[in-house]
Amino acid sequence: MRYLPHTETDVAQMLERIGVDKLADLFCEVPQNLRLRRPLALPQPCSETELIRELQRLAAQNATTETHNCFLGGGAYDHFIPAAVDQLVSRSEFYTAYTPYQPEISQGTLQAIFEFQTLVCQLTGMDVANASMYDGASACAEAVLMSVRLTRRSKLLISRALNPRYRQTVTSYCRYLGLQLIEVPYGPDGRTDSEQLSKLLDKDVAAVVAGYPNYFGVIEDLAALTEAAHGAGARMIASVAEPIALGLLKSPGELGVDIVAGEGQGLGLPLSFGGPYLGFFAVRQQDVRGMPGRLVGETVDNNGQRGFVLTLATREQHIRREKATSNICSNQGLCALMSTVFMALLGKQGLRDMAEQNLAKASYARQQIAALGHFSPVFDGPSFNEFVIRANQPLAPLLADLEQQGILPGIPLAQSYPELDNCLLVCVTEQKRRLDIDTLVAALGGGAA
């Protein structure tokens, strides 16, 4: 937005048009005893140059991936975003667009959402995707509620290796619905324990929920989990927090999954200190009427020309609340557009190339850290761009020391997983150079960064 302060002439012209003599007259309805009788405690006005410098000074106090050598992941990932993404979505017809209730004046917005849905289906291997959701956590919770509606069952089996924030969100959604949530433990390989799952599965289970990859970066055996869930008549939900992994792994659809609920931040959205992010949601054709959120469909108009409309509107404000498939009353339209542009620019091969870089660089980092001798990998299951290491010393002083060196080596797991004390979740994406990884390894080994 341009820096265009009002001049005294501008103010005088506006007051004349309104029909008052001075600014104070605009507040004549406010009683005198409620009015502030001193100037606001604000600094003096400054020029555009001075203001920009002050904002830059404040921004420089933030720790970002530019100021720190950052190896944090856990559901938010630092991926390359082509400059064209921001340039295209900065067009005013995109960033000022509102909910497309009137298709006759919203064809561009509707088509962009339709393309997003199409790309999500191609990425996940599913039949139908909705117009997006708020984020991966709320998408996962909506998937759980959808499975309850479809099966009319009340028990849910959720992998303990699922992202802790997602598990908390599911718990919040289900708190007053009379649903039973049971955690399935993970095994020594970091995957959901299939034997324990088999013992817990019965005719009351609505769904099994697991990450793909899971919170530890380990790639779950979705085919086996799906077979077990289907054997008990339950739905299988794959929660995808790192969508770049789908550029390399078999899609959840190929493995028989019923619902894919994911986080789209990795597909062209910056970290942005936690949001706004993007949830994506895809299902089988047979379950489309139970899917939450908006859905854009393709049709033809009276002249036989291709067009787009909101369809199957048994949701939100279109229907009585207790009959709705969801009370999500908005989609992340601009964020979905960013992901659409990102996926279209990279294409199938580009996404695979990016995924391969993540895999290779994370593997190199894991090997180098393990070679130090005082860190050891915790899980032996196959992983993507995250892995868990255990230190043979207390982590807190080490993390504080590395932060002083400008290195954020990973997420300590003890708070969410007490059994993983002194364990660190390390993430390495394609953004990391070999120099960055070697700097981390040297610092962990006791050398200066």
3-class SS of residue 177? coil
Residues sharing a CB contact under 8 Å with residue 423, sequence separation 6 or more, in sequence order: 378, 388, 389, 390, 391, 395, 412, 413, 414, 417
- In this prediction, residue 315 carries a pLDDT of 58
Containing structural domain, residue 220: 83-342
For residues 30 and 45, which has the higher predicted lDDT (pLDDT)?
A: 30
Same domain, 225 and 190: yes
Angle, alpha carbons 182-136-228 (nearest 5°): 40
- In this prediction, residue 180 carries a pLDDT of 97
- In this prediction, residue 449 carries a pLDDT of 47
Other Cβ atoms less than 10 A from the Cβ of 12: the count is 13
Q: How far apart are CA 266 and CA 252, in angstroms?
A: 17
Stated pTM of the model? 0.89
Which CATH number belongs to the domain containing residue 217 in this structure?
3.40.640.10
Q: Tell me the per-residue pLDDT of 276-324, one tens digit each, with 9 for 90 and over.
A: 999 999 999 999 999 988 899 999 988 999 999 988 876 555 666 666 7
Contact 155, 180 (CB under 8 A): yes
Q: Which of 383, 390, 393, 396 is nearest to 423 (CA)?
A: 390
Q: Tell me the per-residue pLDDT of 246-281, one tens digit each, with 9 for 90 and over.
A: 999 999 999 999 999 999 999 999 999 998 999 999
Same domain, 329 and 423: no
- In this prediction, residue 330 carries a pLDDT of 66
Same domain, 259 and 381: no
Q: Tell me the per-residue pLDDT of 400-428, one tens digit each, with 9 for 90 and over.
A: 999 999 999 999 999 999 999 999 999 99
- Secondary structure element (H or E) that encloses residue 129, with its range: strand 128-129
- In this prediction, residue 325 carries a pLDDT of 72
| Most confident segment among 36-40, 266-270, 290-294, 444-448 | 266-270
Q: Which of 342, 360, 387 is the last residue of a domain?
A: 342
Q: How many domains does the chain have?
A: 3
Same domain, 50 and 76: no
Same domain, 154 and 175: yes
pLDDT at 3 over 90: no
Q: How far is CA 176 from each of CA 170, 171, 226, 291, 311, rounded to the nearest angstrom? A: 12, 9, 28, 21, 30
Same domain, 276 and 375: no
Same domain, 311 and 353: no
Q: Tell me the per-residue pLDDT of 367-413, one tens digit each, with 9 for 90 and over.
A: 999 999 999 999 999 999 999 999 998 999 999 999 999 999 999 99
Which three-class secondary structure string do you get for 301-352? CCCCCEEEEECCCCCHHHCCHHHCCCCCCCCCHHHHHHHHHHHHHHHHHHHH
Which CATH number belongs to the domain containing residue 420 in this structure?
3.90.1150.10
Other Cβ atoms less than 10 A from the Cβ of 67: the count is 12
